[in-house]
Amino acid sequence: MFRDITTLLKDKDEFNLMINEFVKHYRNKKIDAVVGIESRGFIIGSALAHRLNLGFIPIRKKGKLPAETVSEEHKLEYGKDKIEIHKDAIVLGMNVLITDDLIATGGTLLAACNLVKKLGANVHECALVIDLPNLKGKEKIEKAGYKVFNLLEFEGD
């Protein structure tokens, strides 16, 4: 079953509730910027960055960013893909929060964490709306040494 947050995003009250929950969780944390993974991570991440009075940094699919980038390859169910970040977006030693809509197998999120780390930043935590625990992505991310915070879980297919 495909999980999607677009109905949550279109409902102003539910969208605001979601962002409020993230703000409560991260309000007093030492975070320098919010990083969002294309594309739903942009929506969540930019709203959260605004509410936390932080900057927002996009991670995009290969070839979509205009300036010099650094990339990280990751496995998909059906092959490989690459994500990129602007080389100058991260300052050495920054603490960043990585956002996306959900975690399934964890491949893209792990690549994002590795990409941020490659540029010398610390991943404070990964913030997700949904975890799909049967796909074990959260376990994979935590096994790699990164923390994950999610608002909801959906079991099963």
Q: Give the tens place of pLDDT for each residue, 111-136.
A: 999 999 999 999 999 999 999 999 99
Examine residue 8 and state whether it is found in any structural domain, yes or no. Answer: no
Task: Please tell me the predicted confidence (pLDDT) of residue 75.
Answer: 83
Does residue 2 surpass a pLDDT of 70? no
Query: CA distances (Å), 75 to each of 6, 80, 105, 133, in order?
Result: 25, 4, 10, 19
* pLDDT tens for each residue of 43-52: 999 999 999 9
pLDDT at 146: 98
| Structural domain contains residue 31 | yes
Report the chain's mean pLDDT, rounded to a whole number: 95
Residue 49 is assigned to a structural domain of this protein = yes
Q: Of the residues 40, 60, 84, 125, which is catalytic? A: 40
SS (H, E, C) the chain: CCCCCHHHHHCHHHHHHHHHHHHHHHCCCCCCEEEEECCHHHHHHHHHHHHHCCEEEEEEECCCCCCCEEEEEEEECCEEEEEEEECCCCCCCCEEEEEEEEECCCHHHHHHHHHHHHCCCEEEEEEEEEECHHHCHHHHHHHCCCCEEEEEECCCC
pLDDT of residue 27 exceeding 70, the answer is yes
* Residue found by looking up tokens 């490989």 in the block: 80
Which entry of 60, 72, 73, 77 is annotated as an active-site residue? 77
Domain membership of residue 9 (yes or no) is no
Contact 155/136 with Cβ under 8 angstroms?
Answer: no
More confident residue, 55 or 76: 55
Residue 4 has what pLDDT?
84
Full residue range of the structural domain in which residue 93 is found: 14-153
The pTM score is 0.95
State the average pLDDT over residues 75-97: 92
In a domain, 24, yes or no: yes
Q: Is residue 1 part of a domain?
A: no
CATH number at residue 35: 3.40.50.2020
> CA-to-CA distance for 130 and 65, rounded, in angstroms?
27
Total structural domains within the chain: 1
Tell me if residue 40 is catalytic: yes
Residue 3, domain member (yes or no): no
